[in-house]
Amino acid sequence: YNPDEDVFETVCKLGSGFTDEDLAKLPEIFKPYLRREPHPRVKTIMKADYWFTPAVVLEVIGDEITLSPMHTCGMNAIRPGSGLAIRFPRLVKFRDDKSPEDSTTVSEIIEMYKRQLKKIEQTQIPPEERE
């Protein structure tokens, strides 16, 4: 979520981590929010078969955060023409206790990406040269 612009920026397409029970209840959960086009508060450059009003919050985990020309999260913040994306995203759980505006912010995702880069850099420095 980008609170400065009051929009939701894309960060992944989710298709893993769902149980059979989750998959069975998805149509019921999302039907009230179905739209023909992206919601005005969704900042996207992607094409999709279905769009939804921002309403349901999902907790997602992934292997890493990568640069992406397809996702709008943090677009141009790290590199011109690139946003940030969660690589290999998986559902952890539905977050009925959170509103969409309580989602992880774009600035938090940018900070996670930067911390991840620092960890990678540290592993490439020989142990005797680390601070």
Q: Can you give the pLDDT of all 131 residues of the chain as single tens digits? A: 999 999 999 999 999 999 999 999 999 999 999 999 999 999 999 999 999 999 999 999 999 999 999 999 999 999 999 999 999 999 999 999 999 999 999 999 999 999 998 776 666 655 555 55
3-state SS assignment for residue 102: helix
Cα–Cα distance, 3 to 99 (Å, whole number): 13
Please name the residue that has the structure tokens 């999260």. 73
Distance between CA 125 and CA 39 in Å, rounded? 45
- Say what the pTM is: 0.86
Domains (ranges, CATH) in the chain? 8-124 (2.40.50.140)
What are the φ and ψ backbone dihedral angles of 113, each rounded to 5 degrees? Answer: -60, -45
